[in-house]
Amino acid sequence: MLLVDLSMIMHRCLNKMDFLSNSDGVKTGLEFGTLRTLEMLEKDYPAHQIVLCLDDKESWRKKISSEYKSNRKPLGNDTWKRMNKFIDFLKCIYPTSICRFQEADDVMFALSRSQSGPHFIYTNDQDLLQAVSDTLGVKVLKSWNSKLFIWDEAKVKAEFGVSPDLLPYYRAFIGDKSDHLTGVKRLDRALLAELIMWCYSKKNMTQHWFLQEIKTANWGSAKITADVTGFIDSEHWLDNFMLMALQCDDTIKIDEPIKDDEYVVHCLNEWEIASLRLCERFKDKLINTLSEEF
């Protein structure tokens, strides 16, 4: 199985590829770019069934922090309608999964934990790296400049200094600019990772004991020590930890594709997309038009 963060792909294509349009000047980069990405994944990982995972419009994380993702420009109504139409199209082709108040990260994490065999997660979000597990056979595919990199436990440890399951403890101190979550500035990350791994090795680690050890550690300067202490005492760390730690909900299910070839053909003709492998199934019903797709 290959769990795919559809929301991430659509937003990336909306920002990077929406210079494409059909012969009427209607933008089609979101649709073409996403379909091309999925086609690439199907080609590179033919033995794995793709499951598209989506964000719900409302997130439980917003109830914890009003700052969460507040730095992101909201999408207009027209864009939402367009994306919802495209999602309806994709639901005719791929298995999909979405859960009320959950983000795609949580959906993928929950589905991953319910799988019994090796599988992949495709995302650009560092939060999903906590799902990596050599024991469970979970690897994360992250793209960078159109190249895919496979993350296993060794790569996570080499990059962050902690095991995948301890990433929320680590990243809660570091913060996440993409989600508008601030951390402790000028923190010695190598020392932080070493402390977390040491605390974890002590067995039966409680969160309170862990935070006390972090507060009393030798950070090299009184200011950094004060910043760390204030960060913890203000419950800023706890808020970040709750926002970053992924949830495992056993109620999350996978919906099978809705068979509606007529709707698929209608959309492909409207977008004037005819060059992808998907289109070969409907080549007799597609209009032969010139478009700006490449």
What is the model's pLDDT at position 148?
A: 84
Write out the H or E segment, with its range, that includes residue 43.
Answer: helix 29-44
Q: What is the pLDDT of residues 37-56, one digit of tens each?
A: 999 999 999 999 999 999 88
Contacts with 94 (C-beta within 8 Å, 6 or more apart), sequence order: 38, 50, 51, 52, 257
**Chain centroid to CA 284:** 37
**How far lies 131's CA from each of 6, 115, 134, 195, 245, in Å?**
17, 12, 10, 22, 10
Q: What is the pLDDT of residues 203-230, one digit of tens each?
A: 778 899 999 999 999 999 999 999 999 9
d(CA 61, CA 244): 9
Percentage, residues of the chain above pLDDT 90: 68
pLDDT of residue 82: 94
Task: Please report which confidence band the pLDDT of residue 259 belongs to, taking 50, 70 and 90 as the band edges.
Answer: confident
One CATH from 3.30.1380.10, 3.40.640.10, 3.40.50.1010, 3.90.870.10 for 2-156+248-282: 3.40.50.1010
Q: Report which of residues 270 and 250 the model is more confident about.
A: 270
Compute the Cα dihedral for 41, 42, 48, 51 and give only its sign.
positive
**Which amino acid appears at position 209 of this protein?**
W
Q: Could you give the CA distance from residue 212 to residue 110 in angstroms, rounded to a whole number?
A: 31
What confidence tens digit (pLDDT) does each residue in 1-20 have? 999 999 999 999 999 999 99
On the question of pLDDT at 175 being above 80, the answer is yes
Quote the CA–CA distance of 23 and 290 in Å, as a whole number. Answer: 7
What is the residue-averaged pLDDT of the chain?
Answer: 89
For residue 76, give both structure tokens: 């207009």
Q: What is the mean pLDDT of residues 170-185?
A: 91
Q: Token match 């367009």: residue?
A: 82
Are 120 and 140 in contact by the 8 Å Cβ rule? The answer is: yes
Question: Is 159-244 assigned to CATH 1.10.287?
Answer: no
Three-class secondary structure of residue 74 per DSSP? coil
Please name which of 175, 222, 172, 166 lies closest in space to residue 194, comparing C-alpha atoms: 166
Instruction: Give strand pairing partners of 151.
Output: 140
Q: Is residue 26 very low, low, confident or very high in pLDDT (cuts 50, 70, 90)? A: very high
User: Hey, do 2-156+248-282 and 159-244 end up sharing a CATH topology, with the first three levels equal?
Assistant: no
Q: How high is the pLDDT of residue 290?
A: 40
- pLDDT tens profile 87-113: 999 999 999 999 888 889 999 999 999
Q: CA 174, CA 89: separation in Å to the nearest integer?
A: 39
N residues, the chain: 294
Q: Mean pLDDT check: name the lowest of 57-61, 79-83, 114-118.
A: 57-61
For residue 190, how far is the Cα from the chain centroid? 25
The pLDDT of residue 191 is 96
Residue 282 zone, left/alpha/beta (φ > 0; ψ -120 to 50; rest): alpha
**Looking at the predicted structure, is the pLDDT value of residue 114 above 80?**
yes
Rounded Cα distance, 209 and 90, in Å: 48
**Taking 70 as the threshold, does the pLDDT of residue 289 lie above it?**
no
The domain locations on the chain are 2-156+248-282, 159-244
**Predicted structure pTM score:** 0.89
Q: What pLDDT score does 288 carry?
A: 56
**Rounded average pLDDT over 255-273:** 93
Is 265 within 8 Å of 259 (Cβ atoms)?
no
The full 3-state SS of 106-142, as one line of letters, equals HHHHHHHHCCCCCEEEECCCHHHHHHCECCCCEEEEE
